[in-house]
Amino acid sequence: MTQTTPSGLSAGAGATDQAGHATNANLPVLLIGALGVVYGDIGTSPLYAFREALHATGGNPSEREVLGLLSLIIWALTIVVTIKYVTFVLRADNKGEGGTLSLMTLASNAFAKRPAWILGLGIVGGALFLGDAIITPAISVLSAVEGLEVVEPRLTPWVVPITVVILVGLFMVQRLGTARVSTVFGPVMAAWFIILGLTGLLHIADAPQVLLALNPLYGIQFLFTHSHISVVVLGAVFLAVTGAEALYVDLGHFGRRPIIVAWLCLVFPALLLNYFGQGAFVLSHPKTVTNPFFQMQPDWALLPMVGLATVATVIASQAVISGAYSLVRQAMHLNLLPRLEVRHTSEEVAGQIFMPQVNFLLLICVVVLVIGFRSSSALSAAYGIAVTGEMLVTAVLLFIVMWRLWKWNLVAALAIIVPLFIIDLAFFLANAAKFPQGGWVPAVVATVVASMMFIWIVGRRRLTEKTRRDEVPLEFLVENLSKKKPTTVPGTAVFLTSDIEGAPTALLHSLKHYKVLHEHNVILTVMTSDRPRVADEDKIRIDAYNDLFYRVVVTFGYIETPNIPKALALARKLGWKFDIMSTSFFLSRRSLKPSPKGGMPLWFDRIFIALARNATDATEYFHIPTGRVVEIGTQVVI
């Protein structure tokens, strides 16, 4: 067998141009973009975080209690976001890409044999993110529309219907893509953060003593003197840092430098000023404050602020929805989920995608949450478990990367991770206490998603083993056909298979029924790299068995869209004359049947079969022209 291109992937293959993200020329553009995408979620937390912390004290808090709550929020933002994510987590990029699955891949690469428990952590983290993705749009938009209650109390019955209409509209326009509207996301969020800072700054003068909350002792003292409500308060305080994971998830879109500069120069100061302003307003208006964010606005600015807050929360929701699309696509390419339909909404930006099935499920879940909980205060009980769980997963995987991949001293890695892990664990336990009040919602969603991933992984493994037992070794078949060559017909036949060693089922059935071969027969296998992108020169490998048969392995990065015709066009550079109009693609369509003797419960098999049936057709998924496809059906009992 003659190898015509180098096998394997080079060390630099697929690396994103992260350095290019941070160049001085495009830094301002990326800064604005980061404001609109990365910081939408955490930027809308002032709408409800401090309010819920106040409610946790039972109302009418004393000055020392207000300072204690502010101190907890300020230091939560400082430690969780600035120290953990900005300083350490953002450094753990996988060729420029971030997110739970990227971190899982990095941690796996630190071991010679990839441990199953790291895969399990990645699955749990990804599932928790999707659990969070259904709550963020609901609580964000609902909290903004609730500003109408401050403008006119008689509008209270309309809050839920208006919220539902806004959310339905948001999910309906997803199919149009975010390319056009994203250009205004950044400027709107920039204006939002500037106004947050200014409104807070104006009210600090009402009670300058709020600046004492910079002393962390006020927060620590509050927890010790209010031990009976400390768990509830920590659950509310954590609302201020929800959205921190977005800094890491969107790393590949903007790079480290714009995200860090935007946080330190605008977002962090604006959030601090606004929380200080809310605290000062509470101290200067005792016993009358129920919603400090809106109540501290002047009367003339109240209605415009409600409108701006609503737009900001829609933008925050958009960021989470897009993140859900990206995560599901990564999971598909890593074979953690079945193939789902992916539509590209931009010809220029590959990352802008729309996934109809994911969009529909998110819409249903979000609307049910809004109608079921009816207020952001009630919904806040459901918020936190998924995010804190994901943060715990991130801390564990980051420790593995620090110790095994970055070769840090074990003591130094533990000295950094252990305090951060303890803080994350405290927030997780505090949010876990809200499980009966609504915390079960993201936990159930995450459990369902993780279970589907587990069933899909195990089911695919069993199906592969079953298929291999029934297949003929490819080299054995090629050797026999070279000795006794059947009738050949003009053209090229491409047989898709996931098994590199076995002969494709479609090839065996074609020989059995038609008893002919094409002049050129390509055994094509599509693989997914553990890198986000694979360079063109490393994307395709061609091995020649003889004049009749070729083995072609195409490797895509796990965030790339598999496009077989485009990949095969690269083969022209290697001397292979590929003409799509004289090529037929042979695919085997397997009809799966459950078996009581398969070793797994029937319900397990039925769920796997249901997932397989709802998977996107391989023709569409790999962008193969439908007029060039021949499908051969087979039945497989699993």
Task: Determine the pLDDT at residue 173.
Answer: 81
pLDDT for 14 beyond 60: no
Task: Determine the pLDDT at residue 598.
Answer: 65
Task: Determine the pLDDT at residue 599.
Answer: 67
Check residue 5 and report its DSSP letter. Answer: S
Q: Spell 566-592 as b/e; 16+ CB within 10 A means b.
A: ebbeebeeeebebeeeebebbbbebeb
pLDDT for 360 beyond 90: yes
Residue with the larger pLDDT of the pair 351 and 239: 239
Distance CA 259, CA 261 (A): 6
Residue whose token pair is 């830094």: 27
pLDDT for 408 beyond 60: yes
Residue with the larger pLDDT of the pair 283 and 24: 283
In 10 A of CB 522, how many CB atoms?
A: 22
Q: In angstroms, what is the C-alpha Rg of the chain?
A: 27
pLDDT tier at 179, thresholds 50, 70, 90: low
pLDDT for 347 beyond 80: no
Task: Determine the pLDDT at residue 393.
Answer: 93
Task: Determine the pLDDT at residue 224.
Answer: 92
Mean pLDDT score across all residues of the chain: 84
Tens-digit pLDDT profile for residues 414-423 = 999 999 999 9
Q: Which domains does the chain have, with CATH numbers?
A: 18-324+361-457 (1.20.1740.10), 471-637 (no CATH)
Task: Determine the pLDDT at residue 18.
Answer: 38
Residue with the larger pLDDT of the pair 578 and 89: 89
In 10 A of CB 32, how many CB atoms?
A: 18
Distance CA 380, CA 388 (A): 14
* % of the chain residues with pLDDT over 70: 92
Tens-digit pLDDT profile for residues 600-617 = 778 888 888 888 888 887
Task: Determine the pLDDT at residue 346.
Answer: 59
pLDDT tier at 132, thresholds 50, 70, 90: confident
Q: Spell 223-256 as b/e; 16+ CB within 10 A means b.
A: beebeeebbbbbbbbbbbbbbbbbbbbbbbbbbb
Residue whose token pair is 């936190």: 384
Residue with the larger pLDDT of the pair 394 and 500: 394
Can you name the residues that pair with 343 across neighbouring β-strands? 354
* % of the chain residues with pLDDT over 90: 32
Distance CA 31, CA 28 (A): 5
The DSSP H or E segment spanning 372 is helix 356-373
Task: Determine the pLDDT at residue 296.
Answer: 92
Task: Determine the pLDDT at residue 450.
Answer: 93
Q: Which two tokens stand for residue 14?
A: 């697929």
- Residue 100 CA neighbour count, 13 Å, CB half: 29
pLDDT tier at 71, thresholds 50, 70, 90: very high
Q: What is the mean pLDDT of residues 142-171?
A: 89
pLDDT tier at 5, thresholds 50, 70, 90: very low
Q: Which two tokens stand for residue 163?
A: 């919220």
pLDDT for 20 beyond 50: no
Task: Determine the pLDDT at residue 351.
Answer: 56
Can you name the residues that pair with 527 across neighbouring β-strands? 555
pLDDT tier at 349, thresholds 50, 70, 90: low
Check residue 266 and report its DSSP letter. Answer: I
Tens-digit pLDDT profile for residues 431-485 = 888 888 888 888 899 999 999 999 999 888 888 777 777 678 888 888 888 888 8
**3-state DSSP assignment of residue 357:** helix
Q: Are 620 and 341 a contacting pair, CB within 8 Å?
A: yes
Task: Determine the pLDDT at residue 413.
Answer: 94
Q: What is the mean pLDDT of residues 527-556?
A: 85
Q: What is the mean pLDDT of residues 96-101?
A: 82
Distance CA 82, CA 86 (A): 5
pLDDT for 13 beyond 50: no
Task: Determine the pLDDT at residue 464.
Answer: 77
Can you name the residues that pair with 552 across neighbouring β-strands? 524, 542
Tens-digit pLDDT profile for residues 474-505 = 888 888 888 888 888 888 899 988 877 778 88
Task: Determine the pLDDT at residue 80.
Answer: 95
pTM here is: 0.79
Q: Which two tokens stand for residue 571?
A: 């083969």
The DSSP H or E segment spanning 343 is strand 343-344
Phi, psi of 528 (to 5 degrees): -115, 125
Q: In 3D, which of 3, 142, 92 has the Cα closest to residue 408?
A: 92
Residue whose token pair is 């409800």: 48
Residue with the larger pLDDT of the pair 70 and 596: 70
Tens-digit pLDDT profile for residues 247-275 = 888 787 778 888 999 999 999 999 999 99
Q: Are 636 and 605 a contacting pair, CB within 8 Å?
A: no
pLDDT tier at 196, thresholds 50, 70, 90: very high
pLDDT tier at 350, thresholds 50, 70, 90: low
Task: Determine the pLDDT at residue 25.
Answer: 55
What does each C-alpha distance from 616 to 28, 333, 337, 563 come to in angstroms?
39, 13, 11, 14
Q: What is the mean pLDDT of residues 109-118?
A: 86
pLDDT for 638 beyond 80: no
Check residue 617 and report its DSSP letter. Answer: P
pLDDT for 177 beyond 70: no
Tens-digit pLDDT profile for residues 281-299 = 999 987 778 889 999 999 8
Tens-digit pLDDT profile for residues 303-345 = 899 999 988 888 888 778 877 888 888 888 888 888 888 776 6
Task: Determine the pLDDT at residue 10.
Answer: 27
